[in-house]
Amino acid sequence: MTVLVAYGSKRGGTQGLAEQIGAELTALGDDVRVEPAAAVKGVGEVEAVVVAGAVYAGRWHKDARRFVRRYEKELSRVPVWLVASGPLDASADDGALPPVEHVRAAMERVHARGQVTFGGRLEPDAQGFPASAMAKTKAGDWRNAEQVRQWAATVHGDLSGQGALL
Ligand SMILES: Cc1cc2nc3c(=O)[nH]c(=O)nc-3n(C[C@H](O)[C@H](O)[C@H](O)COP(=O)(O)O)c2cc1C
């Protein structure tokens, strides 16, 4: 399957998740492109799409939102999964968090197959306000590589019409 993983990321954490998802799908045999959502030139030839976006102040990254709007018609015709990232605590490890409103709306817009919220990352030396202030108490990496791996395997299993081999 040809899969596009498009991401909106401000500080690189969500980009890292997108790259891991891409690497997992590639290892399972998919033909994967991982690109910043704002740089995607077209989705004509892709057979499935993952859209990942950071969440800031409850808002899904604008590049992810714009990507979904720009390619709404095309995305409605292929399997799509939406990814948000994410909480700076263990809450995303505990089970399925409800989607933020932008993701919920995007799910409807493109009839997405699924959505997931993964933990986020904030580096101790994050620049800019309020990130630098938040970093004093909330810095950490809550991305869960094993959870991401299992999720990617589920996506691959769905695409190839079989159960995920976790
Ligand atoms: C100013 C600020 C606001 C944030 N607001 C939220 C939020 O509302 N919900 C959430 O789950 N995470 C929130 N986060 C955590 C980010 O989503 C997390 O750091 C994420 O990994 C950032 O992705 P990026 O590195 O790709 O930009 C916030 C982080 C910062 C710095």
Atom of ligand 1 nearest to the CA of 10: 27
Instruction: Point out which residues pair with 32 in neighbouring strands.
Output: 3
In a domain, 53, yes or no: yes
In-domain check, residue 131: yes
**Domain encompassing residue 145:** 2-159
Domain containing 131 — which CATH number? 3.40.50.360
Distance between CA atoms of 112 and 103, rounded to whole angstroms?
A: 10
- State how far the Cα of 117 lies from the Cα of 108, in Å rounded to an integer: 17
| 55 occurs within a structural domain | yes
Q: What is the DSSP letter of 61?
A: -
Best residue for ligand 1 mutational test, from 83, 122, 138, 148 (most atoms within 8 Å of Cβ):
122
Number of domains in the chain: 1
Q: Which among 161, 160, 154, 149 has a CA at the least distance from the CA of 30?
A: 160
- Choose one of 56, 91, 148 to mutate for the ligand 1 pocket test, by most ligand atoms within 8 angstroms of C-beta: 56
> Would you state the pLDDT for residue 94?
76
Q: Say if 119 falls within a structural domain.
A: yes
pLDDT along the chain (166 residues), means of 10: 98 98 98 98 96 98 98 97 97 91 98 98 96 97 97 96 61
